């Protein structure tokens, strides 16, 4: 029986990843270069140490001003995010989780400061009983540590948790943790290969949470 749900953050609760990629693509085009989507997808949901502007240098064959470009990128990114709202269905899922008495956690490969700040701006912070981020683990997704720590913080077994993810790295982490996983990709992650997950939604608005829980529970029963 599912007693708790655990959300990823960036790209799932609100679509940071699409904005990130489009901003970087605009900046690359100004230098006569391009950032391949497949290359960027490798970094979504994890921290692989990829530096977009080092890659730009390799493509154009000359150095660039990293500090200037990073500052421009941050300004554009934060400006866009200040206007961004939660993805469709997210608020309704959080509200229904409370009505159903589910414990609600969050597991993100980003920093606690970044995650908590945006959750507060979105007025969603108080919905979460446990938040685990890169500050709490040695290895981020696809390592399962974040999800295992989130389950521990919720005082639940992994088998009692349902994860919502938008990235392949995140889905892999959830399955490695022994949890059920529903993917809700965004525009940037929709073409990723996710492997075995319990279900895929284009949007949380497509299926009420209680119906989804019944669907996933039936799958778990059939597999047991």
Domain spans in the chain, listed from the N-terminal domain onward: 4-15+86-223, 16-81
pTM attached to this predicted model? 0.92
CA-to-CA dists, residue 73 to 18, 22, 42, 84, angstroms = 14, 11, 20, 17
Residues of the chain with pLDDT under 50: none
pLDDT recorded at residue 42:
86
Token pair, residue 75, equals 């300004």
pLDDT recorded at residue 119:
96
> What is the fold, at CATH topology level, of the domain defined by 4-15+86-223?
Rossmann fold (3.40.50)
């Amino acid at each position: 029986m599912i007693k708790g749900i655990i959300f990823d953050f960036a790209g799932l609760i609100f679509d940071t990843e699409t904005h990130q990629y489009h901003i970087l693509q605009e900046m690359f085009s100004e230098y006569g270069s391009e950032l391949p989507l497949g290359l960027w997808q490798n970094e979504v949901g994890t921290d692989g140490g990829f530096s977009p502007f080092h890659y730009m240098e390799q493509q154009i064959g000359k150095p660039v001003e990293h500090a200037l470009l990073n500052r421009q990128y941050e300004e554009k990114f934060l400006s866009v995010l200040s206007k961004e709202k939660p993805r469709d269905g997210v608020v309704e899922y959080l509200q229904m989780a409370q009505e159903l008495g589910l414990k609600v956690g969050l597991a993100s490969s980003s920093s606690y400061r970044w995650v908590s700040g945006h959750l507060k701006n979105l007025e969603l912070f108080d919905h979460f009983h446990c938040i685990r981020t890169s500050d709490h683990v040695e290895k981020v997704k696809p390592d399962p540590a974040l999800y295992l720590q989130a389950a521990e913080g919720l005082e639940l077994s992994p088998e009692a948790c349902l994860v919502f993810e938008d990235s392949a790295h995140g889905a892999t982490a959830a399955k490695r943790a022994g949890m059920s996983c529903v993917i809700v990709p965004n525009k940037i992650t929709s073409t990723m290969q996710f492997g075995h997950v319990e279900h895929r939604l284009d949007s949380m608005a497509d299926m009420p949470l209680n119906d989804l829980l019944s669907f996933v529970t039936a799958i778990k029963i059939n597999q047991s």
